[in-house]
Chain A
């Protein structure tokens, strides 16, 4: 599904060079649930950005579904993100001026889907996170956990094969976080590949594989379950 080989990312300014990722090589198979852990500044989010085609990299090869994505134009990357990748952000990143229906609708509009099909998908997605009855509400009228559920519905509505979650429970209390994790687990059980960045070791322990980043490198890769499906190179 995802294959990175010797990926490096260097941020350059006039005065300094910052090596955010140093020689990352990683294979993620279809249907895996991987967590990424590590201290602040270790490169977790940079890795996630590159995996999600939000950012370019300095060196190395990245194959997504067998396709070398390095040569893609900005337009092609946007289309690929829209069609294959779902994002869940730590601070939910909902549009505060749009109601839940319109928020979930955002990625579908960029896909050029017809109104009737969009409506059907949006309602199913909101229903799957238990918020269909509140589709006309604004994000500000929901709790943090509910907002993250909406964000998950938005990530799932396009039926992506690959879900990237950047500390999705980081802004939630433990009970709510547990609910979100169960939701992610069920999404993974349904076949969606998930890579999740987290600070929480207890959450990391619930994934099939945890990759620990340190100073821009993969320091450790633990196969926790379904080991036969996985291959990690560190």
Chain B
């Protein structure tokens, strides 16, 4: 291999080499960090929420008539919904998981201990909420109908029992979920709440919230003029039942309007839309940068080959086979790209440190760096194959031509 002569020749033509190496380094820096961000977002978007998303939809009922009685309407609506063929169960709830809208609070193990409060999302849900959401109870018991507290929005007094997620139980008690059952936890107002059950998972409403796995379900129906019904259907029944349910509820009570008829899947998609759009934009940026870099490499290779046509002819005359010429330019490209990816590795790490310090992003996994180097080296080789093959086809007779 002609490593030494190629390196010495490159060092005598630094400008083109430096420009392409810088372009490769810059591309690698952006690509490595962009791919990392894409993967991070992808992992976030792929996390399960803990509920039976495929078979859940929700609809909001907003009373407006003078004779509208929200409490009666809820009881009547839930009866109708649960009796509808194809509906597995239904409940009323204040917020939808990963919907970007909901309530949170903090819990402590001692009353008034605000310093050690563990943040948690709170769901106020009616009877049969666990079955409706499809949550898995891993310790304790479900709510009884008699546990449900119906209260006005102005009341700050919660029901006396709560079901929490395993993540919240482990944060609060630093022990397994079973040991949380029967224990009391305290709201910021100092009210004691008894943990009667633990579910495996229920995400909070905010997808990017660091404490998203901490959730608590209170058996409460808050009367505030607006009720969100969560309906779980049998598999494959959702599309048929959504318009039917809307029509049935509309016909049953003309003192209210119905809004926000949506599937859980739509709600999730809406919540992650920015992440999804950002991911697509990053893919476009990556593809564009790779294309531009590849074109830069092709341009440099073509320029370099055209400048050295007579040299290539001379090399062929002196005994270089076509394969030797091809290898020469591939090796030359590996060396230029090698300088670029080494600089790119340093720049990628530096840029990631900047992102970590400025935007509180997680540190990049180490394997992204060698993977990025490999990809850019491969892009360089693929880009230069065409021009190198053209160089290899230069006739040896060119050595004796005067131009």
Binding site for B on A (CB under 8 A): 45, 48-49, 52-55, 74-75, 78-79, 81-83, 87, 89-91, 93, 95, 97-99, 102, 105-107, 109-111, 138, 154, 158, 166
Contact = CB atoms under 8 A, between A and B. Distances in A.
Nearest to A101: B5
Interface in B323-342: 323-324
A90 B402 CA distance: 9
Contacts of B318: 81-82, 87, 106-107, 110, 154
B400 interface: yes
Interface in B129-175: none
A166 B402 CA distance: 11
A211 B324 CA distance: 36
B324 A110 contact: yes
B126 to A, nearest CB: 81
24 contacts: A53-B396, A54-B316, A54-B317, A54-B399, A75-B321, A78-B320, A81-B317, A81-B396, A82-B319, A82-B320, A87-B318, A87-B399, A91-B402, A97-B8, A98-B5, A102-B5, A102-B8, A105-B5, A106-B318, A107-B319, A110-B315, A110-B318, A138-B12, A166-B400
Nearest to A84: B319
B84 interface: no
Contact of A110 (B8, B321, B402): B321
Interface of B is mostly: helix
Contacts of B317: 52, 54, 81, 87, 93
A45 B397 CA distance: 9
Contacts of A107: 318-319
A91 B324 CA distance: 24
Nearest to B322: A74
Contacts of B402: 90-91
A78 B319 contact: yes
B9 interface: yes
A36 B184 CA distance: 109
B395 to A, nearest CB: 7
Contacts of A138: 12
Contact of A55 (B13, B321, B395): B395
A87 B317 CA distance: 8
Interface centre among A49, A53, A83, A166 (most CB of B within 10 A): A49
Nearest to B398: A54
Contact of B400 (A48, A53, A95, A99): A48
Contacts of A109: 2, 5
B396 A54 contact: yes
List the 10 closest A-B pairs by CB distance, nearest first: A82-B319, A97-B9, A110-B319, A93-B314, A54-B397, A107-B318, A54-B396, A78-B321, A55-B397, A102-B5
B60 interface: no
A166 B319 CA distance: 17
B357 interface: no
Interface centre among B314, B323, B395 (most CB of A within 10 A): B314
Contacts of A110: 315, 318-321, 324
A179 B319 CA distance: 27
Interface string B292-328: 0000000000000000001100111111111110000
Given A48-B400, A109-B2, A93 B310 contact: yes
Nearest to A86: B318
Contacts of A91: 402
Contact of B315 (A97, A106, A111): A106
B399 A89 contact: yes
Nearest to A93: B314
